[in-house]
Amino acid sequence: MKQTIPARTLEGGLIEPHHEIEVVCSACGYDLDEAELQADVCSDCYAPSNLRQYTSINGTPVPAAGGEVF
């Protein structure tokens, strides 16, 4: 299962960057969907459910604080 969360501005001006979260079977690397996450075994290799999560974070540019841009 792969979730994509777009960048957004939080309270206080904090920025949550664009990031992606992918959940796969740790035994075979099969990309599990939401229904398969509830099962006790992987539907591809039938190994006991042992999940691996990958998170990738993309940098978000911060606007200039003021003054001239060089």
Residues facing 19 on adjacent strands: 5, 57
pLDDT at 4: 94
Identity of the residue numbered 20: E
Q: What is the pLDDT of residues 6-48, one digit of tens each?
A: 999 888 888 888 999 999 999 998 988 888 888 888 889 998 8
pLDDT at 6: 93
C-beta neighbour count of 54 within 10 angstroms: 10
Tell me the CA end-to-end span of the chain in Å, nearest whole number. 43
pLDDT at 69: 58
Greater model confidence, 68 or 20: 20
